[in-house]
Amino acid sequence: MSETPIRTGSLRGIMMRGPGLAETLPFYEDMWGLKLAHSDDGTALLRGTGSEPFLYGLTEGDVFGIEYVHFAMPDRTQTDALHAQCVAKGAQVLGAPAEFDDWAGGYGFEVLDPDMRRLRFRTEARQLPEEPDWSKPKKVSHVVLNTPDMEGVQAWYEDVLGFRTSDYSADQMVFLRCNTDHHSIALVRAHYASVNHVAFELPTIDEFMRAIGRMKQKGHVPTWGPGRHGPGNNPFAYFVSPSGFVIEFTSELQQIDETTHEAQVWPRDNPELMDRWMTAGPPTPAQRAVMQGRPDPGWPELAQRNRGAAE
């Protein structure tokens, strides 16, 4: 019998990378509802209304993509155990657990997933006083990743990081959880690795609708939604950021009971199971295109390129 793997704690957020991202800061502050928590050379860190030091980071780089996906661990013991599990499973860890010397601080490590995405695990991070503010995002709900090897990457997140499969959307998408949230990560079958979208959670559905209203009043209508998904049962409204990243407002994500939940395959040939309110309709070809994202070569290639540039 195999032992239960050590599980990833929760999703903290994500650091995005690309050319000119700093110029998009006003969009996230004035419209999306985040606040600048900290900035230093080439990086801006945006917080939500909760205690997390940042939900979304913008860092300068010549390739659009993910700088790292950011996860929380409950304590050092669990962090060390997850690191040991990564090593035992042959994952590509970037050093041993150590203190971070960045603004968010704390202790942890990094590992590359099979698509060469950098994942950062951190415990004892800086905590901010909560700043409740109606209709502003409180946390990052989930990150959806495009991958050329959906089954392989799914198996890796399960085996190495202790994720569990919550549901499938036909044979095109798999939803993975690390705690009671129906999904913190989802994978989409694609031709290349890239970011599909990042979803921000509003505490209530009223706030979700008001956040859409704020965007609309400022001239940004959703490119898809509002609607309510089948898998996860969460309301959705998708927007495209000024730099071309797809971002989502969501709320009321299904909470999983481990004792009773069984993953199911949600069909795509029943519109009402895809779009439970029947308000959104299917994504347009333009929406699908923008969700394909721009190819992200991942961490080692970038590191190599940066080294090359420095020489």
> Binding string to Fe ion for residues 144 to 183, with x set by CB under 5 A, is what?
----------------------------------------
| Least spacing, CB of residue 10 vs Fe ion, in Å | 17
Q: Give the residue with the Cβ less far from Fe ion, 248 or 296.
A: 248
| Least spacing, CB of residue 220 vs Fe ion, in Å | 18
CA distance 13 to 72: 9
Please report the beta strands in the chain, taking only residues with DSSP state E, as ranges in sequence order.
10-18, 35-40, 43-47, 56-60, 65-72, 92-93, 98-99, 107-112, 118-123, 139-147, 164-169, 173-177, 185-189, 194-201, 224-228, 235-240, 246-250, 265-266
Out of 199, 247, 253, 302, the only residue in the binding site for Fe ion (CB under 5 A) is: 199
| Least spacing, CB of residue 12 vs Fe ion, in Å | 17
CB-CB neighbours of 271 under 10 Å: 13
Kindly indicate which of the ranges 60-68, 99-107, 172-180, 243-251 contains the residues binding Fe ion, using the contact rule CB under 5 A: 243-251
- Tokens 């990378």 — which residue? 17
Kindly indicate which of the ranges 43-51, 64-72, 245-253, 283-291 contains the residues binding Fe ion, using the contact rule CB under 5 A: 245-253
CA distance 1 to 20: 51
| Least spacing, CB of residue 144 vs Fe ion, in Å | 6
| Least spacing, CB of residue 302 vs Fe ion, in Å | 26
Q: Give the residue with the Cβ less far from Fe ion, 49 or 169.
A: 169
CA distance 107 to 1: 32
Q: Give the residue with the Cβ less far from Fe ion, 224 or 299.
A: 224
Q: Give the residue with the Cβ less far from Fe ion, 106 or 231.
A: 231
Residue 173, token pair as written in the block: 């998408």
How many helices and strands, by DSSP H and E, does the chain display? 7, 18
CB 249 within 8 A of CB 200: yes
DSSP one-letter string for 207-242: HHHHHHHHHHHTT---SEEEEE-STT--EEEEEE-T
Kindly indicate which of the ranges 131-139, 208-216, 247-255, 293-301 contains the residues binding Fe ion, using the contact rule CB under 5 A: 247-255
Kindly indicate which of the ranges 83-91, 100-108, 241-249, 292-300 contains the residues binding Fe ion, using the contact rule CB under 5 A: 241-249
Q: 285: number of CA atoms within 13 Å, CB side? A: 0
CA distance 97 to 100: 9
Kindly indicate which of the ranges 62-70, 192-200, 239-247, 282-290 contains the residues binding Fe ion, using the contact rule CB under 5 A: 192-200
CA distance 169 to 45: 33
Q: Give the residue with the Cβ less far from Fe ion, 9 or 225.
A: 225
| Least spacing, CB of residue 36 vs Fe ion, in Å | 25
Q: Give the residue with the Cβ less far from Fe ion, 85 or 184.
A: 184
Q: Give the residue with the Cβ less far from Fe ion, 44 or 176.
A: 176
Residue number, nearest CB to Fe ion: 199
Q: Give the residue with the Cβ less far from Fe ion, 52 or 248.
A: 248
Residue 148, token pair as written in the block: 């050329």
Binding residues vs Fe ion (CB under 5 A): 199, 248
